[in-house]
Amino acid sequence: MKVEIRGEPHEEAAVTLVRTSCELRKVVGMVEDLEHVVGEAIARSGQAGADQMLELQKLDHIQQKILGVADFLEALSRSMPSDWRVDALSASRCVLLAELGAKLGDAEAAKRAPAAAAAESCELF
């Protein structure tokens, strides 16, 4: 049984999961960049001990975990019935980063966004 409420933005849940997975993969790219910069800083400091290298490996572990979640969401989306609908726009309003919320909540906003992670802006506080 398919129930739709007219006037409310609902999309296939699978589409939302794939879009979320794409955003997570962009975050992995940002973590990779950070790992490189921190690694360079540690190497140039001349004090790269075992403790610092173990800490640096945590960034790699974070990347692996984020990729694991992204893969999980994509796998779920492939097996999800097409009549399962979600209101991603309303759900995205709880996301504090405005640009990320817009991308998660609206498929069209995600398509209009710049492809390069470097072009993304951040909110400073």
pLDDT band at 4 (very low <50, low <70, confident <90, very high): low
| Per-residue pLDDT tens digits for 82-125 | 999 999 999 999 988 888 988 888 877 767 765 544 444 444 33
Nearest to 42 by CA among 64, 61, 57: 57
pLDDT of residue 117: 43
| Per-residue pLDDT tens digits for 16-73 | 999 999 999 999 999 999 999 988 888 888 777 788 778 888 999 999 999 999 999 9
pLDDT of residue 119: 44
Residues 72/78, Cβ–Cβ less than 8 Å: no
d(CA 17, CA 77): 6
pLDDT of residue 43: 81
Q: Whole-prediction pTM value? A: 0.74
Instruction: Indicate the helix (H) or strand (E) that contains 49.
Output: none
Residue 86, classed as helix, strand or coil, is strand
Instruction: Indicate the helix (H) or strand (E) that contains 39.
Output: helix 13-45
β-bridge pairing 85-86 and 11-12: antiparallel
pLDDT of residue 118: 42
pLDDT of residue 7: 55
